[in-house]
């Protein structure tokens, strides 16, 4: 059980909560992440972590104390299995992202949608891309075309949709392999949805013969909402083809507004940021070297 009882937020205006589980040292770009979250006032972030909450933190971002031992105990209890994620391979936590709707079910009760996301992100205008009509029409919304995205995916908060991961064959084996990342959050959920949402009558007939009644969520994966890895590889040195965050909006190096900027391919070369938690620059750039306000 988390310390959710200590969290307060505007339940009337909060329909979406994004969940992050992060064990380890806070990344240097955290001030930029938090600054961008603060501009998305209708979205809540629950960060389950062993790092301390910064003194200057947006009201919609909640740091919930959790170390690896507590995570293992909670997941073991919720999924009814023996979970032993190790300190030397905490990346394994990513395999459990699609089960967060069950793992953190007590905490997300007030929300219509929950999602999982990453920390190596700067957020833009989420509400411009995830609008009410989209929420009304779909059960799962992802930021990649034809695939579930590990860095952003929303799920309708219902018992049926929260249990989608249970339909993956041998999912318990993937969860029990603590030495390897199995891609449950991206590869296996994607494969499941492609097969069981297939309109092909032969596929449906085979399912009927087998007596299966799988979950068939309505999935939105029609548009890229963040720059892909190939786009990051086109970024030059210094400020050449850099990305921008400007007063709550995010732009790729072509000047196209995106829902968020995910810098997973260049963060290995990023080394610094020139503002801190208490600063509020109106704009900053993301380059191969780091994050810098002019």
pLDDT tens string 204-239: 555 555 555 567 899 999 999 999 888 888 888 888
Q: Is 1 exposed, middle or buried (0-12, 13-18, 19+ CB in 10 A)?
A: exposed
Say if residues 29 and 120 touch (Cβ distance below 8 Å): yes
Say if residues 162 and 105 touch (Cβ distance below 8 Å): yes
pLDDT at 50 over 60: yes
Residues ≥6 apart with Cβ < 8 Å to 240: none
Q: What is the pTM of this model?
A: 0.91
The reported pLDDT for the residue numbered 195 is: 76
Helices (H), 138-224: 159-162, 171-176, 189-196, 201-209
**pLDDT (mean) for 152-176:** 94
The reported pLDDT for the residue numbered 192 is: 87
Strand duo 219-220 + 290-292: pairing: unpaired
Share of the chain above pLDDT 70, in %: 89
Q: Quickly state the pLDDT bin for 292 (edges 50, 70, 90).
A: very high
The reported pLDDT for the residue numbered 163 is: 93
SS3 280: coil
pLDDT tens string 105-114: 999 999 999 9
The reported pLDDT for the residue numbered 273 is: 98
The reported pLDDT for the residue numbered 6 is: 54
Residues ≥6 apart with Cβ < 8 Å to 221: 140, 141, 142, 144, 145, 146, 147, 148
Residues ≥6 apart with Cβ < 8 Å to 209: none
pLDDT at 19 over 60: yes
Q: How far apart are CA 269 and CA 236, in angstroms?
A: 12
């Amino acid at each position: 059980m988390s310390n959710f009882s200590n969290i307060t937020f505007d339940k009337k205006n909060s329909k979406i909560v994004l969940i992050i589980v992060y064990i380890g040292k806070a990344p240097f770009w955290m001030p930029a992440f938090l600054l961008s979250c603060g501009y998305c006032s209708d979205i809540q972030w629950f960060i389950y972590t062993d790092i301390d909450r910064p003194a200057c933190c947006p009201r919609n971002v909640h740091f919930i104390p959790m170390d690896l031992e507590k995570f293992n105990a909670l997941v073991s209890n919720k999924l009814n299995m023996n979970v032993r994620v190790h300190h030397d391979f905490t990346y394994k936590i990513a395999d459990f992202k699609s089960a967060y709707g069950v793992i953190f079910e007590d905490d997300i009760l007030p929300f219509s949608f929950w999602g999982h996301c990453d920390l190596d992100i700067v957020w833009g205008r989420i509400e411009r891309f995830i609008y009410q009509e989209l929420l009304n029409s779909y059960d799962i919304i992802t930021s990649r075309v034809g695939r579930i995205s590990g860095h952003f995916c929303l799920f309708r908060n219902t018992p049926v949709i929260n249990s989608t991961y249970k339909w993956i064959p041998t999912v318990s084996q993937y969860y029990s392999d603590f030495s390897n990342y199995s891609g449950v959050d991206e590869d296996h959920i994607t494969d499941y949805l492609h097969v069981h949402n297939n309109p092909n009558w032969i596929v449906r007939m085979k399912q009927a013969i087998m007596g299966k009644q799988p979950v068939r969520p309505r999935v939105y994966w029609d548009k890229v909402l963040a720059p892909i890895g190939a786009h990051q590889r086109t970024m030059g040195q210094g400020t050449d083809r850099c990305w921008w965050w400007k007063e709550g909006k995010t732009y790729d190096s072509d000047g196209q507004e995106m829902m968020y900027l995910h810098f997973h391919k260049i963060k290995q070369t990023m080394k610094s940021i020139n503002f801190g938690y208490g600063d509020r620059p109106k704009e900053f750039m993301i380059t191969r070297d780091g994050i810098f306000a002019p």
